[in-house]
């Protein structure tokens, strides 16, 4: 049995199965962001560790990544 790799952003869900649902990178997969925009990927990991990042499964069975905006 192979050990499944765990993403720092999506956990056990494969990064290619989760798409961003906000901003200028909307519609890109997390894996695509990791490959092409490593600084933005690190930003998303920071948002997740701050508790401002969620993944939801939509009616069409897609996983969407959201970042909540909070007022400071």
Alpha carbon distance 16, 20 (integer Å): 11
- Asked if 63 and 55 count as a contact pair (C-beta separation under 8 A), the reply is yes
pLDDT score for 70:
61
pLDDT score for 5:
79
- Return the DSSP state at 7: B
Q: pTM of the predicted model, to two decimals?
A: 0.82
Domain locations in the chain as residue ranges: 15-67
pLDDT score for 48:
93
Q: Token digits for 22?
A: 């906000």
pLDDT score for 23:
86
Query: In angstroms, how far is the first alpha carbon of the chain from the final one?
Result: 46
Per-residue pLDDT of the chain (72 residues), as tens digits, is 555 578 999 999 999 999 999 889 999 999 999 999 999 999 999 999 999 999 999 998 899 999 887 655
């Amino acid at each position: 049995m192979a050990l499944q790799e765990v993403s720092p952003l999506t956990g056990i869900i494969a990064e290619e199965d989760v798409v961003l649902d906000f901003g200028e990178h909307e519609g890109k997969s997390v894996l695509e962001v990791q490959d092409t925009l490593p600084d933005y990927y690190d930003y998303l990991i920071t948002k997740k560790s701050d508790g401002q990042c969620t993944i939801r499964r939509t009616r069409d069975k897609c996983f969407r990544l959201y970042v909540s905006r909070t007022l400071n």
